[in-house]
């Protein structure tokens, strides 16, 4: 059985996923997504009850139910794996593998009936984004990826696109309200040079970067469950994801994140964010 390092690169430039362990993990992650999708589609026709959490974000009964179901499935299939979830806390974060779960990314959009919400299922390996699923029931789209190896949309390979300059970049931001005053000024230094800036979109914006439809994503005020799954998909599609300082994401990370499909665009954007351009 070939190791990841021994596996040949395919004609589309990506490394096929051939080893049994990764295939098993991908298959299981999609089972989690199947469970989540069924519950989300059912709730989208009737969801009403909404609670406001201490951080002023929203949570619904469906958020809580989906994560509880996924955690129960993980406990049966991979009892030694850790879990970091948005709604039900953490366990075994020192495990080699930790599932990073956001049952509804874009809960406010879900409550409002705006179909840009989805489920994020990430798997960290040794604390770094490794495998990810972005499931988007409203459009019947599902992205799966393994960092540095592959990314697929509904079974078809996807890749980021070339964009060597911020001036040519389609930039996305989840919500400018999440930025502090200082972060807002730094973000605007990039926005002022970008070709266009689109706000909102939740996980769908990150999926579009992996698919080669956008070029740059800059956010703050986020947590691992917001970005680990998208990071694995984007890095599987040839892009890069890190914090604004250039440090890699970890399970202890919170706050600032930048993602790009092109290394040159990423470098220029980071210089602007750090006041070096």
Domain of 99: which CATH number? 3.30.540.10
Q: What is the pTM of this model?
A: 0.88
Domain contains 206: yes
Q: Indicate whether 153 and 170 sit together in one domain.
A: no
Range of the domain at 208: 166-273
**Predicted local confidence at residue 184, as pLDDT:** 96
Domain contains 10: no
Q: Indicate whether 180 and 254 sit together in one domain.
A: yes
Q: Give the integer Cα–Cα distance in Å for 181 and 7.
A: 47
191-228 per-position pLDDT tens digit: 999 999 999 988 999 999 999 999 999 999 999 999 99
Q: Indicate whether 54 and 151 sit together in one domain.
A: yes
Element (H, E) at 227: helix 224-236
Q: Is 14's pLDDT higher than 80?
A: no
Q: Indicate whether 109 and 173 sit together in one domain.
A: no
Residue 19: pLDDT band (50, 70, 90) is low
What's the domain count of the chain?
2
- From residue 121, alpha-carbon distances to 80, 101, 165, 215, 232 in Å are 17, 5, 31, 23, 10
Domain contains 7: no
Domain contains 230: yes
Q: Give the integer Cα–Cα distance in Å for 132 and 110.
A: 21
Domain contains 134: yes
Q: Indicate whether 39 and 152 sit together in one domain.
A: yes
Domain contains 41: yes
Q: Indicate whether 149 and 170 sit together in one domain.
A: no
**Predicted local confidence at residue 256, as pLDDT:** 96
Element (H, E) at 241: strand 240-242
User: Which residues lie closer than 8 Å to 233 by C-beta, 6 or more apart?
Assistant: 132, 133, 134, 143, 144, 145, 151, 206, 207, 210
Helix, strand, coil shares, percent, the chain, to 5: 35, 25, 35
Q: Indicate whether 150 and 177 sit together in one domain.
A: no
Q: By mean pLDDT, which of 13-17, 84-88, 168-172 is the weakest?
A: 13-17
Q: Is 247's pLDDT higher than 90?
A: yes
Q: Indicate whether 76 and 141 sit together in one domain.
A: yes
Average pLDDT over all residues of the chain:
88
- Coil vs helix vs strand at 72: helix
Domain contains 36: yes
Q: Is 91's pLDDT higher than 50?
A: yes
Q: Indicate whether 180 and 233 sit together in one domain.
A: yes
Q: Indicate whether 83 and 190 sit together in one domain.
A: no
**Predicted local confidence at residue 159, as pLDDT:** 98
Q: What is the CATH number of the domain that holds 171?
A: 3.40.190.80
Q: Is 16's pLDDT higher than 70?
A: no
**Predicted local confidence at residue 55, as pLDDT:** 58
Q: Which of 157, 181, 197 is the last residue of a domain?
A: 157
94-146 per-position pLDDT tens digit: 999 999 999 989 888 888 888 889 999 999 999 999 999 999 999 999 999 99
Q: Which of 134, 157, 180 is the last residue of a domain?
A: 157
Residue 276: pLDDT band (50, 70, 90) is low
Q: Indicate whether 143 and 254 sit together in one domain.
A: no
Q: Indicate whether 36 and 93 sit together in one domain.
A: yes
Domain contains 6: no
Residue 241: pLDDT band (50, 70, 90) is very high
Q: Which of 157, 190, 209 is the last residue of a domain?
A: 157
Count Cβ atoms within 10 A of the Cβ of residue 35 and give its class: 0-12 exposed, 13-18 middle, 19 or more buried. middle
**Predicted local confidence at residue 245, as pLDDT:** 94
**Predicted local confidence at residue 2, as pLDDT:** 35
């Amino acid at each position: 059985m070939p190791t990841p390092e021994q596996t040949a690169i395919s004609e589309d430039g990506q490394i096929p996923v051939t080893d049994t362990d990764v295939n098993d993990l991908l298959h299981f992650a999609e089972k989690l997504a199947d469970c989540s999708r069924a519950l989300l589609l059912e709730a989208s026709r009737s969801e009403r009850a909404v609670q406001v959490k201490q951080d002023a974000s929203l949570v619904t009964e469906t958020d809580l139910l989906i994560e509880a179901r996924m955690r129960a499935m993980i406990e049966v299939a991979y009892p030694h794996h850790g879990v970091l979830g948005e709604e039900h806390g953490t366990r075994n974060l020192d495990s080699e593998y930790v599932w990073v779960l956001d049952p509804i990314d874009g809960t406010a959009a879900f409550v409002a009936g705006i179909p840009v919400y989805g489920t994020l299922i990430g798997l960290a390996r040794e604390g770094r984004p490794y495998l990810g699923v972005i499931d988007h029931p409203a459009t019947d789209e599902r992205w799966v990826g393994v960092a540095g190896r592959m990314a697929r949309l509904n079974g078809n390979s996807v890749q980021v696109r070339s964009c060597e300059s911020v001036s040519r970049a389609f930039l996305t931001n989840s919500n400018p309200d999440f930025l502090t005053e200082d972060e807002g000024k730094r973000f605007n230094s990039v926005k002022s040079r970008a070709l266009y800036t689109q706000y909102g979109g939740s996980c769908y914006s990150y999926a579009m970067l992996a698919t080669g439809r956008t070029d740059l994503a800059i956010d703050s005020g986020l947590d691992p469950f917001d970005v680990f799954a998208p990071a694995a998909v984007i890095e599987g599609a040839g892009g890069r994801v890190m914090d604004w300082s250039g440090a890699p994401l970890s399970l202890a990370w919170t706050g600032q994140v930048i993602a790009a499909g092109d290394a040159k665009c990423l470098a220029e954007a980071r210089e602007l964010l750090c006041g070096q351009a």
